[in-house]
Chains A and B, each alone.
Chain A
């Protein structure tokens, strides 16, 4: 019976597939609206912005005058512009605040004294004065000011990049967790494996000269960290497949053992004497996009690449299909010729390896600290679950997890910007996770399970 899909069906499918994206969009818009800030043409913020514009346009050799009236915010503008200009190495010829005749007089004096004025940092009102054109060597075209505008703090490029950077490591580790949960398993050890990998990497660097270690040593140490975590994942997988110990128990044990091991390796110390090259792993790459230059954090780049690969693997390859089948019905999968044990083993090993990668990034960002990644697994599991992957196994999407990780990061960041206390943040996050699972359960019931 191939009846055409009724309209309502199309809508429910859309909601099912993209519901989480809508939630994310909603959050972004809400937080943008709630962190909306008035930016005036005067005041400290405007002063700094004007200084930045002048420094960009004219370079450090410029001679600049700062001109304001005496209204509210003007003094802050003058002070902020002054200090920002000086910080940028620009010469401030004169700072004038007063009535138009006073301005005219002081400016003329400054032109005489310095021979020229290249730019005038002005508040919005002062920039409107006509007197500039009447002074020799000056002109109203030299005035730089900002338009009064509103700009949401949340939606600033800087803040968005910051959110992405903070999410990246969670999101990368969550790829492995997604696979594990799709097989109807769980991995509680990822937080500890981050620490294990971080200290292993840092310890190997230390053995090879610490802060002076060369590129070769860094590569070797990263491989060591990755392998340590992957081996732990392989161990979990072996216990689960060969001895049928429940994943919860196995990975709980590995979580404890890996943490203890990490602490032993460094004797409870944190290794922070790391070479600059290693530090730059989690640094930024300068990109030029449509003429707009910005630094994209390497973890974010890595995250995007890994998600693209994982998505292709899970949707387009035999391996991905098998992972879903193993989680949906292991017995049916086995009787269809799927190597259930092999697949499970690979999945846990991959999950360990990705946690290891997370550990290397954390070590590069922070240090080789055995206390890294405590409670990390809970955030990662939350991201996976919020992203719509069912703990029953057999269902879930890689990009769902990315959206889930972003939702959690956006909520955290938004609440920080709104200066909500960490206790209230916890309450909200807990509720969000619960609601996400509730939606999933209701959806499932709708499908007649």
Chain B
């Protein structure tokens, strides 16, 4: 007998947190072999919805049926047993364990002395399938964000699942890895596995999705086959208004070189890199995962110690030994990993915002809390940060909203040079647009901006000049951004 009921059906799902109604009656239907894109603004409730599916949250109301049978997903284990694999937006890797130990965590063969060599082999196979080169035996805390993401993907693929849920798996990946991921997804699709895919990158959605379901403010807005959907229509469903021009680049007047970097080195990660950024310029830096982009900017910011190299700002040579020095000199870095490097999760969003900026609000070490609150309030409005109140713990924000808090905290610095490492990672279209406009304003005021991004349309759309890195070295420079193409950049990046 052929089972005709859909693979997965979620009905009337509701979930509230103190002060926040995250989901109010959401429906979702997933068929076998279907890729369903779950779309919505930051804080729309996407992650919360799939957490109820993964057994991480219990819904306040609603039913979940799999192949016509009502299921109760009371714990993550229950979800795994039901055949649901979830890649969460925030990673769940144990930092001290290596990659394959993490992949098979909790599913080790029982017994006292276990031969675990086959697990290692299996992990190597998975990485090969993904076409990535990740060291097997290093602890996960030493991996980059992108590598950790790939480990999470491998972990989900290693399970025997009927339903695979991916919450922004591509946010930290470059087009190459995303393409590999899509190949795998299409393969899973042919085997009848249903896939829920969450991403803020619209190109990907049209590339991979069969149907699109949109949430807004915790409510189901609608769904449609991807073929019938246009970019404009989808944006309008998500943000409730249309956005004319996704990359509203306004070229600012470009002046003298501001930040000049000469011969920067650190081990094999960064090898003899020299470049400069001028007043009012947006310099894009791109390259594959592991190309050394993050390492490079961390050296400039003093987060890591450099082996050699000179840094000067506005003609003045700088002795940067710590982030403190860099901030003092007027260089700020928005780090790529907001959870471990950007936020103090157990403190309020207001305190997180204030952290590098306290001196601006203080008088002899005493904080003017009202001034701090007012300053943050402006960003809450301009970046539309969704929080019930400023005392909300950073941990309780949706991924995109966390990113906005980190962004706000650095914007308040009014730095001479702003370095953004994946600034729009996990941020919705509407807010991206706001951030791009903000970058325009900053550039117009003479700020120089370095933007690292794996999202090529963004790099192409917003940069005045692009540097391409490969294996710790500068591989090419693109000055005529308008006529450059994604293919062109990728060719340079691959080396």
Contact = CB atoms under 8 A, between A and B. Distances in A.
Interface of B: 17-21, 43, 217, 301, 303, 322-324, 326-328, 333, 335, 340-347, 351, 354-356, 358-359, 362, 365-367, 369, 386-389, 393, 395-396, 409
A318 B369 CA distance: 11
A1 B351 contact: no
A395 B20 contact: no
Nearest to B326: A337
Given A12-B18, A318-B362, A395-B346, A331 B341 contact: yes
B367 A316 contact: yes
A317 B366 contact: yes
Given A328-B345, A332-B344, A395-B346, A318 B409 contact: no
A394 interface: yes
11 contacts: A1-B386, A1-B387, A2-B389, A3-B19, A5-B19, A316-B366, A325-B347, A328-B345, A332-B343, A336-B323, A447-B393
Contact of B346 (A12, A328, A338): A328
A7 to B, nearest CB: 11
B58 to A, nearest CB: 12
A321 to B, nearest CB: 6
Contacts of B217: 1
Contacts of B326: 337
Interface residues of A, number: 32
Given A338-B355, A447-B393, A324 B365 contact: no
A325 B351 contact: yes
Contact of B327 (A318, A321, A337): A337
B358 A321 contact: yes
Nearest to B324: A337
B359 A318 contact: yes
B343 A329 contact: yes
Interface in A326-356: 328-329, 331-339
A9 interface: yes
B344 A324 contact: yes
B344 A318 contact: no
A6 B19 contact: yes
Contacts of A447: 393, 395-396
A447 B356 CA distance: 26
Nearest to B372: A321
Interface string A189-203: 000000000000000
A394 B347 contact: yes
A318 B346 contact: no
Contact of B365 (A8, A317, A339): A317
Contacts of A1: 20-21, 43, 217, 386-388
A307 interface: no
A336 B396 contact: no
Most interface-central of A319, A337, A392 (chain B CB within 10 A): A337
Contacts of B347: 324-325, 328, 394
A216 interface: no
A53 to B, nearest CB: 51
A101 interface: no
Contacts of A395: 346
A448 interface: yes
Contacts of A338: 324, 355
B428 to A, nearest CB: 14
A14 interface: no
A394 B365 contact: no
A332 B388 contact: no
Contacts of B366: 316-318
Contact of B323 (A6, A316, A317, A335): A335
B339 to A, nearest CB: 9
Given A329-B340, A395-B346, A336 B367 contact: no
A-B pairs with lowest CB-CB distance, top 8 = A328-B344, A337-B327, A336-B356, A336-B355, A394-B346, A329-B344, A9-B18, A318-B358
A337 B341 contact: no
A304 B152 CA distance: 52
A346 B340 CA distance: 24
Nearest to B298: A335
Given A335-B333, A337-B327, A448 B17 contact: yes
A335 B413 CA distance: 14
Chain B interface main SS type: mixed
A321 B355 contact: yes
Contact of B341 (A317, A335, A448): A335
A331 B358 contact: no
A394 to B, nearest CB: 4
Interface in A350-390: none
Contact of A449 (B43, B355, B395): B395
A319 B362 CA distance: 11
B335 A335 contact: yes
A10 to B, nearest CB: 10
Given A12-B18, A325-B351, A335 B344 contact: no
A339 B355 contact: no
Given A317-B367, A334-B323, 13 more contacts: A1-B21, A1-B217, A5-B389, A316-B366, A316-B367, A316-B369, A321-B358, A325-B355, A331-B341, A332-B344, A335-B301, A337-B356, A392-B346
B323 A3 contact: no
A2 B326 CA distance: 36
A8 B341 CA distance: 34
A328 B362 CA distance: 22
A25 B365 CA distance: 35
A48 B126 CA distance: 88
A329 B359 CA distance: 20
A24 to B, nearest CB: 25
A337 B323 contact: yes
Nearest to B328: A337
Nearest to B391: A13
Most interface-central of B354, B355, B393 (chain A CB within 10 A): B355
Interface string A98-123: 00000000000000000000000000
Contacts of A325: 344, 347, 351, 355
B190 to A, nearest CB: 37
Most interface-central of A325, A333, A449 (chain B CB within 10 A): A325
Contact of A3 (B301, B345, B388): B388
A299 B234 CA distance: 68
Contact of B388 (A2, A334, A339): A2
Interface string A1-33: 111011011001000000000000000000000
Contacts of B324: 337-339
Nearest to A330: B344
Most interface-central of B327, B346, B351, B393 (chain A CB within 10 A): B346
Contacts of B345: 328-329
A394 B386 CA distance: 24
B354 A332 contact: no
Most interface-central of B20, B21, B344, B347 (chain A CB within 10 A): B344
A337 B326 CA distance: 8
A448 to B, nearest CB: 7
A392 B395 CA distance: 15
B389 A321 contact: no
A335 B21 CA distance: 33
Contacts of B395: 447-449
B363 to A, nearest CB: 10
A170 B314 CA distance: 55
Nearest to A392: B346
A321 B345 CA distance: 14
Contacts of A321: 351, 354-355, 358, 367
Contacts of A328: 344-347
A95 B17 CA distance: 75
A9 B366 CA distance: 31
A9 B18 CA distance: 6
A98 to B, nearest CB: 74
